[in-house]
Structure 1
């Protein structure tokens, strides 16, 4: 079954954060991967690229929601808050500088209700991204940001 993550622009405590809804099965991301995401509001696939090439995002953390398989979908707001907490906590250990002092932004993909219930998807995908643009996208990155201190 093919996975789809829907991007919904949102702002959480002045953070540039996108939230994705995934259905019905989770996409497989790996920490350190540099990726290009498709245009539009649906993510049903992504392209891994060499980090030295311009890219849309870099996966820097994959925290899991603590809810077990039987736990009901907690809702978008609760997942957004958990994504904010977990991604921000993992930012400095990966990048090498505190988020508040960094020129790099992050965004997150979270499971949607269908993915949560049908695929037991509990993974939050934390992505490093460039500066937010006026059109709702982010500037591309070049080079891995792991340990960069940027």
Structure 2
């Protein structure tokens, strides 16, 4: 009987220790919640912009209509927008000699931008979509210095 009572005594001590450990505050910190970043949508699909475009640019809003006509004439040497390897489309960024994969992006209800997919809408390397339909796309660079050099870009779909 002595071993039986000793066993019960040890079992009671073990149970009390387990209970105390379960009630003790945890020494590991709870996971820190990262703030949610707004997800953007892509209102303009790659299929809508892929193809050949005439391209011209203006600096003064008064020149927009004239520049659209000039862009139509640019179809003799079109600006080609191809599909990107990851679901976007290929366009040149400012001062780059090779095209980069870009996407359209928007955080509703804000404006739509075209730029690198890993940057938020409105990043310095983006272009704001001023106008877009199936035949005309007007883009303005977000970076004021780049916008000052390149102007507002007018793309007119080639026939």
Same structural fold, with TM-score higher than 0.5 when normalized by the shorter chain:
no
Q: More helix by proportion, 1 or 2?
A: 2
TM-score of the aligned structures, taking structure 2 as reference length: 0.29
- Tell which has more relative contact order, 1 or 2 (C-alpha 8 A, sep 6+): 1
TM-score by length of 1: 0.30
Q: Give the number of the structure whose alpha-carbon radius of gyration is greater.
A: 2
